[in-house]
Structure 1
Amino acid sequence: MSDEIWSRNELDSPCIQICVVHPETRLCTGCNRSIDEISRWSKMTRETRLSIMDELPSRQSIPKGRRGGRAARLKR
């Protein structure tokens, strides 16, 4: 099994080197993967990684809408 890890094509990573995890969604704002997916990535099979990569476009690492702004401050 370890031979499989070292012989695979590493180009299967969606990382774009913008590694910031959003505090609410817990997803990386660069690649939309969770911390767990990022940490296990090198141990996953190619099929598992491809399955996750297929899901990534539908994920939102940053929630839509504002977190409050002026209107939220005025409610205090």
Structure 2
Amino acid sequence: MDNRQDRVRSPCVSVCALDENDVCIGCHRTGDEILRWTSMTNDERRQVLQYVAQREEKTLL
């Protein structure tokens, strides 16, 4: 199990609202990713953060 201090931190920015695609307008995670975050491994969290970066980039275009 990961040491608590070494856990990948949540990208939450306390702007919690899901858009029509079930993606948070604040952190760009899906509703499912938000719900599962606390039970994910660090590797799973890193993968989600890659998805987050891609989603965020799309919103900036």
Shorter-chain TM range is 0.7 to 0.9
Cα RMSD over matched residues? 2.2
CA distance in 1, matches of 2:50, 2:31: 17
Q: CA deviation at 1:42?
A: 0.2
CA gap 1:43/1:52 in 2 versus in 1, 3 angstroms? same
TM-score (norm 2): 0.76
Q: CA deviation at 1:41?
A: 0.3
Q: CA deviation at 1:8?
A: 2.4
**Amino acid in the other structure paired with 1:19:** C
**Amino acid in the other structure paired with 2:27:** C
- Deviating 4+ runs (over 4 angstroms): none
TM-score (norm 1): 0.63
Q: CA deviation at 1:11?
A: 5.4
Q: Which residue of 2 aligns with 1:40?
A: 36
Q: CA deviation at 1:20?
A: 0.5
Structure 1 segments unaligned to the other structure (5+ residues) = 64-76
Q: Does structure 2 retain, via aligned residues, the 8 Å contact 1:12–1:50?
A: no
Structure 2 segments unaligned to the other structure (5+ residues) = none
Residues 7-26 of structure 1: matches in 2 within 5 Å?
A: 7-9=3-5, 10=7, 12-22=9-19, 24-26=20-22
